[in-house]
């Protein structure tokens, strides 16, 4: 989608055009899903963070200084919601971000495996995607942006803006992250080597099979010092070359339907079929959305504390509407639908850790910040 067309959609969506809002969501949801999904790899809350990002963006269109900068502004919102998620799940000052990420891990929703499966990756591309699980949360969040820069979806200016860093500091962070990713790729190679290295088998005897920064360092150090494994460092194609032009991981039909319906529930009369179906199939869930529409835009346009309360109610109503929207998507029979993110839904355990720790990762693949100026329209900067 061209920058000019995006700007026209933003202007129309701000004016309340439901078709423009729907198209804006549909066009940019895959970008947000890939940013959040990779940054929160394995989290139960990826869909919730994605939805929250899109709704905050739609609610905040009036604060956007330049319609042409919508894309970079949206990515910055996504990263802020990722940080907020980390803070909300940290469990207190004594728990690290990595521990918090492990606490909410969902073995059936591993974004690295989703990337491999849905994009049909093989060879070193597959190796790189799976290596992302070994990074610390901060590096994984940076990787989620740098990956999209390499794929041509973001510019270096977008990445720096989302990280709230200067381009120079961003370049330093990227270099450090790339070094960690390279060692993680070697770890993947070491664990997949057949027959396995006996020294590595003995060293990982106490490993529980879960990727972590500690075991990445231990296995990578073994690969440097072991005569048999030292050759694994050879022949690594630069990651930026592997990621260049790679497609985005597609969004599920349920997530798209849910975000569309949640947006429609608080933004006036909706033209989205999912919202109407949700109203008929789940009147209890959808009632708040109907009440919000009856109140109309007059309250939301008010001044002072009352208008803030209205905005909060609108967001709550939108989130409640998502349940009915997903049910509607199932009944409508459209596309790929999963119910794992619905409240009370049972989580699948597909892609769980095999019995052998050494073979854990070699198993078959499963399954509003303040707006900045216009993003650079130049091609993505070299990933250095």
- List, for residues 153-172, the tens digit of each pLDDT value: 999 999 999 999 999 999 99
Least confident of 37-51, 201-215, 221-235, 298-312: 298-312
Given a contact cutoff of 8 angstroms between Cβ atoms, the answer to whether 52 and 81 are in contact is: yes
What is the chain's mean pLDDT, rounded? Answer: 74
Q: Residues 41-64: pLDDT tens digits?
A: 867 889 999 999 999 999 999 999
Q: Is 123 exposed, middle or buried (0-12, 13-18, 19+ CB in 10 A)?
A: exposed
- Find, among 322, 362, 381, the residue nearest to 54 by Cα: 322
Q: Residues 77-95: pLDDT tens digits?
A: 999 999 999 888 875 334 4
* Structural domain contains residue 94: yes
User: 47-50 long-range CB contacts below 8 Å, 24 or more apart?
Assistant: 47/255, 47/258, 47/341, 48/341, 49/78, 49/81, 49/82, 49/85, 50/78, 50/255, 50/259
Given a contact cutoff of 8 angstroms between Cβ atoms, the answer to whether 130 and 361 are in contact is: yes
How many angstroms from the chain centroid is the CA of residue 48? Answer: 10
* Structural domain contains residue 351: no
What number of other Cβ atoms are within 10 A of residue 39's Cβ?
A: 29
User: 96-103 long-range CB contacts below 8 Å, 24 or more apart?
Assistant: 97/136, 97/137, 97/138, 98/136, 98/137, 98/212, 98/213, 100/137, 101/40, 101/41, 101/42, 101/43, 101/137, 102/210, 102/212
Say whether both 158 and 293 belong to one domain: no
pLDDT at 98 over 80: no
* Structural domain contains residue 349: no
pLDDT at 371 over 70: no
Say whether both 230 and 316 belong to one domain: no
Say whether both 172 and 311 belong to one domain: no
Q: Quote the percentage of the chain above a pLDDT of 90.
A: 55
Instruction: Report the pLDDT averaged over residues 307-329.
Output: 46
Tell me, what's the pLDDT at 262?
86
Say whether both 62 and 173 belong to one domain: yes
Least confident of 82-96, 123-137, 156-170, 233-247: 82-96
Place of tokens 């804006």: 24
Say whether both 153 and 268 belong to one domain: no
Q: For residue 260, what pLDDT band results from cuts at 50, 70 and 90?
A: confident
Number of domains observed in the structure of the chain: 2
Given a contact cutoff of 8 angstroms between Cβ atoms, the answer to whether 147 and 181 are in contact is: no
Q: How far apart are CA 124 and CA 232, in angstroms?
A: 12
Q: 193-197, 341-345, 356-360 — which one is most confidently predicted on average? A: 193-197
Instruction: Report the pLDDT averaged over residues 249-265.
Output: 87
pLDDT at 176 over 70: yes
Under DSSP, is residue 177 helix (H, G, I), strand (E, B) or coil? Answer: helix
Tell me, what's the pLDDT at 288?
36
Token digits for 133?
């699980």
* Structural domain contains residue 23: yes
Instruction: Report the pLDDT averaged over residues 312-337.
Output: 42
Say whether both 116 and 264 belong to one domain: no
Question: What is the full DSSP assignment across 50-65?
Answer: HHHHHHHHHHTGGG-S
Q: How far apart are CA 236 and CA 143, in angstroms?
A: 18
Q: Between 326 and 149, where is the model more confident? A: 149
Q: For residue 308, what pLDDT band results from cuts at 50, 70 and 90?
A: low
Instruction: Report the pLDDT averaged over residues 233-239.
Output: 95
Say whether both 328 and 197 belong to one domain: no
Place of tokens 């450090």: 176
Q: Whole-model pTM?
A: 0.67
Instruction: Report the pLDDT averaged over residues 30-39.
Output: 95
Q: How far apart are CA 79 and CA 39, in angstroms?
A: 9
Tell me, what's the pLDDT at 365?
37
Tell me, what's the pLDDT at 41?
81
Say whether both 260 and 316 belong to one domain: yes
Q: Which domain holds residue 169?
A: 3-243
Say whether both 300 and 201 belong to one domain: no
Say whether both 35 and 112 belong to one domain: yes
Beta-ladder partners of 43: 105
Given a contact cutoff of 8 angstroms between Cβ atoms, the answer to whether 129 and 116 are in contact is: yes
* Structural domain contains residue 230: yes
* Structural domain contains residue 226: yes
Choosing from 192, 222, 243, the residue where a domain stops is 243
pLDDT at 206 over 90: yes
Under DSSP, is residue 369 helix (H, G, I), strand (E, B) or coil? Answer: coil
Tell me, what's the pLDDT at 266?
60
Q: How far apart are CA 312 and CA 282, in angstroms?
A: 22
Q: 87-101, 249-263, 358-372 — which one is most confidently predicted on average? A: 249-263
Place of tokens 């690290």: 96
Given a contact cutoff of 8 angstroms between Cβ atoms, the answer to whether 247 and 293 are in contact is: no
Choosing from 220, 243, 266, the residue where a domain stops is 243
Say whether both 298 and 204 belong to one domain: no
Q: Is 72 exposed, middle or buried (0-12, 13-18, 19+ CB in 10 A)?
A: buried
What number of other Cβ atoms are within 10 A of residue 350's Cβ?
A: 12
Tell me, what's the pLDDT at 110?
82
Token digits for 50?
């994605």
Choosing from 314, 332, 350, the residue where a domain stops is 332
Say whether both 68 and 156 belong to one domain: yes
Residue 5, C-beta contacts closer than 8 angstroms, at least 6 positions apart: none
What distances in angstroms separate CA 170 from CA 41, 128, 165, 282, one per listed residue? 22, 21, 6, 47
Tell me, what's the pLDDT at 263?
83
Vertex 276 angle, CA 271 and 277, to 5°: 135
Q: How far apart are CA 370 and CA 72, in angstroms?
A: 12
* Structural domain contains residue 135: yes
- Find, among 371, 321, 334, 332, the residue nearest to 251 by Cα: 334
DSSP 165: S
Q: Quote the percentage of the chain above a pLDDT of 70.
A: 64
* Structural domain contains residue 186: yes
Given a contact cutoff of 8 angstroms between Cβ atoms, the answer to whether 98 and 212 are in contact is: yes
């Amino acid at each position: 989608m061209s920058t000019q067309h995006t700007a026209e959609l933003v202007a129309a969506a701000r004016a309340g055009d439901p078709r423009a809002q729907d198209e804006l969501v549909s066009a940019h949801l895959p970008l947000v899903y890939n940013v959040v999904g990779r940054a929160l790899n394995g989290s139960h809350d990826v869909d919730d963070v994605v939805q929250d990002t899109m709704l905050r963006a739609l609610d905040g269109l009036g604060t956007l200084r330049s319609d042409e900068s919508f894309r970079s502004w949206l990515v910055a919102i996504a990263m802020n919601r990722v940080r907020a998620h980390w803070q909300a799940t940290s469990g207190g000052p004594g728990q690290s971000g990595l521990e918090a990420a492990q606490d909410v891990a969902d073995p059936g929703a591993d974004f690295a495996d989703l990337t491999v499966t849905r994009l049909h990756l093989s060879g070193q591309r597959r190796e790189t995607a799976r290596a992302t699980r070994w990074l610390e949360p901060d590096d994984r969040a940076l990787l989620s942006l740098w990956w999209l820069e390499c794929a041509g979806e973001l510019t270096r200016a977008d990445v720096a803006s989302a990280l709230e860093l200067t381009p120079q500091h961003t370049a330093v962070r990227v270099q450090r992250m790339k070094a960690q990713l390279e060692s993680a790729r070697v770890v993947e190679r070491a664990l997949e080597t057949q027959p396995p290295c006996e020294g590595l088998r003995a060293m990982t005897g106490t490993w529980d099979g879960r990727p972590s920064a500690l075991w990445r360092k231990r296995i990578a150090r073994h690969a440097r010092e072991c005569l048999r494994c030292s050759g694994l460092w050879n022949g690594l194609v630069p990651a930026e070359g592997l990621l260049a032009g790679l497609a985005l991981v597609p969004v599920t039909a349920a997530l798209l339907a849910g975000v569309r319906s949640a947006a429609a529930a608080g933004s006036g009369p909706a033209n989205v079929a999912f919202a109407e179906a949700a109203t008929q199939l789940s009147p209890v869930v959808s009632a708040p959305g109907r009440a919000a529409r009856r109140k109309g835009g007059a309250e939301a346009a008010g001044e002072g504390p009352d208008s803030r309360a209205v905005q909060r109610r609108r967001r709550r109503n939108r989130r409640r509407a998502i349940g009915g929207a997903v049910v509607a998507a199932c009944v409508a029979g459209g596309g790929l639908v999963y119910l794992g993110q619905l409240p009370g839904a049972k989580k699948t355990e597909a892609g769980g850790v095999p019995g052998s720790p050494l073979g854990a990762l070699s198993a078959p693949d499963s399954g509003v910040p303040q707006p900045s100026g216009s993003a650079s329209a130049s091609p993505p900067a070299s990933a250095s």
